[in-house]
Amino acid sequence: MVPSQKKVFIVNPCAGNGAAEIKWRVISRLVEEQLGSFTTCFTEREGDATRLAREHLASGADLIVGVGGDGTLNEIINGFIELSPQVFHGARLGILPFGTGCDFARTVLKSSTPGRALQVIKEGYTRSMDLGRIQFSDHNGVSGVRYFHNVVSFGTGGEVVVHVNSHSKAGGAFLSFLRSTLVCLMRHRARRICLNCDGRAEEFVVRNIAVANGLYHGGGMCVAPEALADDGLLNVTVIGDLSLSEMFLNIAKFYNGRIKEVKKVITMTGRHIEANSKQDIRIDMDGEQPGWLPVVIDILPQAMPMIVDREMFSPSPRQSG
């Protein structure tokens, strides 16, 4: 049983195309049965999850659970990291995935069903997970810094996120992201991006570049099949200038963990990544679109205490699916 005295569930009611609000009415009763008393906080606008996490950690919460997708989880993590480790010492982060993508849940949970996720939280197996830190230009051209837990991508990735978030997600994560990916591939040509990975600089003509801490993004695309979320490394996947026919021929490999077999795909690992371009290129960060290239990305090893599925990390990490 989780030994928490103060448990806070931060719920994004709009997650999963609004399904989170409906599901929470049912799941909240299971939460009380499994974990005892807890506090529920609903977000209303962008940034609320960060503020709520920060406030409750500062007032002594020792378990914060994100109820939503990767965007909600990202905001909560930024609430943690904005505080000094002394403030949230002993506090942990749990995941109850209700969002459209919930891609990081695929990395740390054997099953993302609410029942299994609650069982994992109840068991309380905790590991210190890596985070990424990204410096970028926001929509006003102002330099910003954020922290991410899953994937940052640039190229088609930023356009896909804009398309997904501006259209109905009623078809579910897989169809929503696949549809938007195909639309954006048809609308946008390959981009020329200068990439520097741990001092190794090269210019690429790409469809997309993903800098990954987790295995999946884009509603289940296994973009970094060798990524380990607690190894102190970022996995970089460069998807070159594939034609639409090449994308269709290889689409299964993008989802089944065989992406490295696709021609024009290059992978590498690093701790410090820089990327820039003469073109205007949006970035995707954990399913949100906060700004543009250029970016500077660093790894923060084992920075986030997170409750994860023991079966995914013991005796050694292994991917799901």
Model confidence over 30-54: pLDDT tens digits? 999 999 999 999 999 999 999 999 9
Rounded Cα distance between 56 and 38, Å, is 12
> If we measure between CA atoms, which residue out of 227, 222, 218 comes closest to residue 269?
227
Rounded Cα distance between 232 and 302, Å, is 7
3-state secondary structure of 163: helix
Rounded Cα distance between 23 and 6, Å, is 23
> If we measure between CA atoms, which residue out of 269, 277, 168 comes closest to residue 211?
269
Total domains in the fold of the chain: 2
- The tens-digit pLDDT sequence of the chain (321 residues) is 444 479 999 999 988 777 788 889 889 999 999 999 999 999 999 999 999 999 999 999 999 999 999 999 999 999 999 876 666 678 999 999 987 678 999 999 998 888 899 999 999 999 999 999 999 999 999 999 999 999 999 987 667 766 666 666 555 666 666 677 777 676 777 889 999 999 999 999 999 999 999 999 888 889 999 999 999 999 999 999 998 889 889 989 999 999 999 999 999 999 999 999 999 999 999 988 899 999 999 999 999 999 999 999 865 444 443
The whole-number pLDDT of residue 313 equals 84
Rounded Cα distance between 126 and 93, Å, is 9
3-state secondary structure of 152: strand
Q: Could you tell me if 94 and 156 lie in one domain?
A: no
Residue 9 φ then ψ, to 5°: -105, 120
Q: Could you tell me if 203 and 99 lie in one domain?
A: no
Rounded Cα distance between 312 and 293, Å, is 34
The whole-number pLDDT of residue 87 equals 63
The whole-number pLDDT of residue 22 equals 85
Q: Is the separation of the CB atoms in 143 and 136 below 8 Å? A: yes
Q: Is the pTM of this model over 0.85?
A: yes
Residue 152 lies in a domain: yes
CB count within 10 Å of CB 246 equals 15
At 265-304, the pLDDT tens digits run 999 999 999 999 999 999 999 988 899 999 999 999 999 9
The whole-number pLDDT of residue 167 equals 63
The whole-number pLDDT of residue 79 equals 95
CATH number at residue 14: 3.40.50.10330
Q: Could you tell me if 47 and 101 lie in one domain?
A: yes
> If we measure between CA atoms, which residue out of 94, 139, 110 comes closest to residue 289?
139
Q: Could you tell me if 59 and 98 lie in one domain?
A: yes
| Helices and strands: H and E segment counts in the chain | 9, 14
> If we measure between CA atoms, which residue out of 290, 73, 14 comes closest to residue 162?
290
Task: Select from 91, 108, 124 the last residue of a domain.
Answer: 124
The whole-number pLDDT of residue 142 equals 93
Rounded Cα distance between 264 and 123, Å, is 43
3-state secondary structure of 52: helix
- Encoding tokens for residue 225? 């099949």
Q: Could you tell me if 120 and 155 lie in one domain?
A: no
CATH number at residue 286: 2.60.200.40
Q: Could you tell me if 120 and 176 lie in one domain?
A: no
Query: Chain-centre distance of CA 5, in angstroms?
Result: 28
The whole-number pLDDT of residue 186 equals 67
State whether the Cα torsion 289-292-293-294 is positive or negative: negative
Range of the domain at 117: 7-124
Q: Could you tell me if 257 and 280 lie in one domain?
A: yes
H helical segments located in 18-129: 19-35, 48-58, 70-81, 103-108, 114-123
Residue 312 lies in a domain: no
Peptide bond into 114 cis (omega under 30): no
Residue 56 lies in a domain: yes
Task: Select from 76, 96, 124 the last residue of a domain.
Answer: 124
In angstroms, what CA-CA distances link 50 with 57, 78, 95, 172, 199?
Answer: 11, 6, 15, 26, 33
In angstroms, what CA-CA distances link 266 with 1, 204, 239?
Answer: 44, 10, 7
